[in-house]
Amino acid sequence: MKKILFIMLLVQNIFALDSVSAIPKNQKTVITRVATVLGLPLNKETRKLIYNKISFAFDKGWSAHWTTNTTGADSKIGDSKTQICDVTIYNNNRVVNATFVHFKKEKQLFITIKEYIDGSSKVILKAYNKRKNNPKYIMKNETDNYAYFQLKGYMDYVTYHISSPAGMVIYESSYILDIKE
């Protein structure tokens, strides 16, 4: 009987957890800080929205810092209705920069995520050539050292930068989301 009760309690707790409740403490701290700085409601929906956009960056050995409207001592935009939170997350494989802009009057959140990945110029050039032949992308510009592409119909860009013997890929995606306040 005790085993059955234990199993029932265990199953009940597993189903009670949702994706927001399961976020590790350090990651919740970043998510809560972003929402608070932006003046967003601290509900599960808001936290999930932010987490879903940057969760991939919380990888091995990650660390984060942020800059906001009030970071600078002489900021004149600290009390603005439009609030900004720029978060940079470092991990062992890449650097991710996420910029959140809350347009309070319009009840919208603009998010831009940039992911920087370095590698050898040979590996980056191979990835560039593969992207160049992908019909879903439009080449916007190309020089001897860099080229960037846009995913057709989206605010998604991929930049390849070669400076032999090294190279870098930058993935950039932007979103405009409605906020329920």
Q: Give the model confidence (pLDDT) of 66-83 as tens digits.
A: 999 988 888 899 889 999
Residue 1 lies in a domain: no
Residue 92 Cα to chain centre, angstroms: 16
Residue 111 lies in a domain: yes
- Express each pLDDT in 96-145 by its tens digit: 999 999 999 999 999 999 999 999 999 999 999 999 999 999 999 999 99
What are the counts of helices (DSSP H) followed by strands (DSSP E) for the chain?
A: 4, 8
Total residues found in the chain within this entry: 181
Is the bond leading into 165 cis (omega within 30 degrees of zero)? yes
Angle (CA) 37-42-46 rounded to 5° is 95
156 vs 170: CA distance, rounded Å: 11
31 vs 48: CA distance, rounded Å: 9
pTM: 0.85
Lowest mean pLDDT among 16-30, 40-54, 165-179: 16-30
Are residues 113 and 85 in contact, defined by beta-carbon separation less than 8 angstroms? no
Q: Which of 74, 41, 170, 153 minimizes the C-alpha distance to 118?
A: 170
Rounded mean pLDDT of 31-53?
94
Tell which wins on pLDDT, 9 or 115.
115
**52: pLDDT strictly greater than 90:** yes
71 vs 98: CA distance, rounded Å: 16
Beta strands 108-120 and 82-90 are unpaired
Band the pLDDT of 18: cuts 50, 70, 90. low
Q: What percent of the chain has pLDDT over 70?
A: 90
Q: How far is CA 46 from CA 49, 64, 101, 133, in A?
A: 5, 20, 14, 38
Domain membership of residue 34 as a residue range: 24-70+81-178
Please tell me the predicted confidence (pLDDT) of residue 166.
97
Residue 66 lies in a domain: yes
Q: Which tokens is 122 given? A: 């040979």
Number of domains in the chain: 1
